[in-house]
Structure 1
């Protein structure tokens, strides 16, 4: 059919049609190999086919409390009642017109936590890889708001969801508050009473670091472990592991420190994780959140989450020596040595001194610079004052490479500043 249509046109028209058809398979005068763009699969499509994952296998498991949505009619009724109350309030309208209307941030926060807040916290935790590195293929939506702050005198350093807290700011045990009146029976659809008294709820709080283990990459360090917390009074809980401040080694970047609050079904005996107060043993603090949850998953449910990030500061040098009784570790990149070609008899267009320094010991070069600097430093009066106008002093009867070296020395440029 297409051939008949082409034949019905004149010669010039047929030429234009053939040219347009060929342009689909050429680019910049070169013929394309393989399928043309638009027909061939993109790199993203090919990688998606190669890395295809079974959705049933990759599906995450919710190990927290379920979210029970209230009836839509009840929500609409509550919203309408609120709007009616606001519309008949003359003081509210007067403040709005005068631009003096203020909003209570605590009320906004309570509303946020009651509606979309827990889901926002879950997305933040997924962004930082908290669930993946602590619970593997599981996750939970934090239903209980954790209010945590490190006190340093009059200042307070709160913990939110990924903010930075320095080791000096987190040197002391934090203050923890949460609402223990969370109706977990209603969330689970239960009506029967538990074995404990209905007036007391039991909780467990664990602070762990999934990034800082010095010998096992898939393990964590437990920085704090308080079990059998009655209601919300952390001070009355059973201290299984005493508090230990963050100690990220130098050169390892930011470390995540995660607070996980568990709701207990009953009072539990977790003495196997117990560490003495006076003992600071990192081997004994080796911890795995996934193994811990698997062991007590029938009696505990994760309900609260908060985490912060911490990196190295100078106070950790003494902490490693005095508290951990170990050498202060420092991690650095091990750069390969630069490639040096064989020396030439007559290197052209290369400064003589810099070319020769490439093939010398750097320690010997630094030693010579230091000796030169000390030779011009008086033991009591200090170094010689610099020239006020260094470019105004002529340099005569010296090779070009030495003239450049003298100019750099006068201006304070180059390697001598590293000594």
Structure 2
């Protein structure tokens, strides 16, 4: 049985089987291959746990989570987190917003990987409804030379219009081997979080 989370050009189809099937469409061309994904485990210091499509409040996801998956300890992995619904699911002109990017993760030890874009929490604008926040894990063919990843200016706008599909192709990542996502929408805490992120330059891309 499928639960459908629809967007303009972007949606997920999730079934209840052991191997979750997620269908993702990219920001430029339709990425509609059916993917067999093992559900990655994502838990936050607040106690919130990501369950496929479950709504979580912005305050619950303000801090970097712990993400784990079934991994080969001798392999390297990439973790990407994006919001495809920016500024809204109806008009995703900024699709995708890059929320987190870590490469060269040994096994599933995320803290030992190379952080390209530091984690930022969910700050959906007021009146834009639910946004999806998607975690995707890729097994790398080898070590990625992080120095070749073009640095971006350290402002909020630098995270707009990220393209997971292009990144996958550039670094020969293949299809994701694990993933998960939650949904969040604006509440009063978003304004506090945005001000805090700007003050501490949490939008930087390393």
What TM-score do you get using the length of structure 1 for normalisation? 0.39
Structure 1: runs of 5+ lacking an equivalent: 1-112, 182-198, 326-419
Within 2, Cα distance between the matches of 1:247 and 1:259? 16
The residue aligned with 2:188 is 314
- Structure 1, residues 202-257: CA drift from partner, whole Å, max 9, x if none? 10000000002489716211000010000111110000100001000010000000
Pick aligned residue for 2:118 from 239, 242, 266: 242
Secondary structure (helix, strand or coil) at the match of 2:54 reads strand
Within the alignment, does 1:265 sit opposite 2:159 as a pair? no
Contact 2:26 2:163 survives alignment (8 Å)? no
Does 1:141 pair with 2:36? yes
Q: Aligned partners of 2:34 and 2:51: how far apart in 1?
A: 18
Is this contact kept in 1: 2:79–2:102, CA < 8 A?
yes
Higher strand share: 2
Deviation string for 1:297-339 (max 9, x for gaps)?
3x443101100000011011223344337xxxxxxxxxxxxxx
1:117 aligns with 2:11: no
Tell me the CA shift for residue 273 of structure 1: 5.0
Structure 1 residue 174 displacement after superposition: 0.2
* Aligned pairs for 1:84-163 within 5 A: 116-118=17-19, 121-122=20-21, 125-126=22-23, 131-133=24-26, 136-142=31-37, 144-152=38-46, 156-163=47-54
Q: Distance in 1 between matches of 2:180 and 2:151?
A: 23
Q: Deviations over 1:94-115 (max 9, x none)?
A: xxxxxxxxxxxxxxxxxxx9xx
Q: Which residue number corresponds to residue 179 of structure 1?
A: 70
Q: 1:273 to 1:139 in 2, by over 3 A?
A: farther
- The Cα RMSD (Å) is 2.5
Change (3 A) 1:265 1:151: same
Distance 1:218 1:275 in 2: 16
Residue 285 of structure 1 deviates from its aligned partner by 1.0
Counterparts of 1:179-258 in structure 2, within 5 Å, are: 179-181=70-72, 200-213=74-87, 217=93, 219-258=95-134
The answer to whether the 8 Å contact 2:78/2:103 transfers is yes
Structure 1 residues 218 and 245: CA distance shift in structure 2, 3 A = closer
Q: Which has the higher contact order (CA 8 A, sep 6+)?
A: 2
Asked if structure 1 preserves the Cα contact closer than 8 Å seen for 2:67 and 2:110, the reply is yes
Alpha-carbon separation, structure 2, partners of 1:161 and 1:216? 21
Matches within 5 A, 1:298-313: 299-313=173-187
Q: SS state of the match for residue 53, structure 2?
A: strand
SS in 1 for 2:187: coil
Partners of 2:18 and 2:171 lie apart in 1 by: 27
Change (3 A) 1:242 1:218: closer
Q: Which runs of 5+ in 2 are unaligned?
A: 1-15, 200-206
Instruction: Give the conservation status (yes or no) of the 8 Å contact 1:264–1:301.
Output: no
Task: Name the count of aligned residue pairs.
Answer: 178
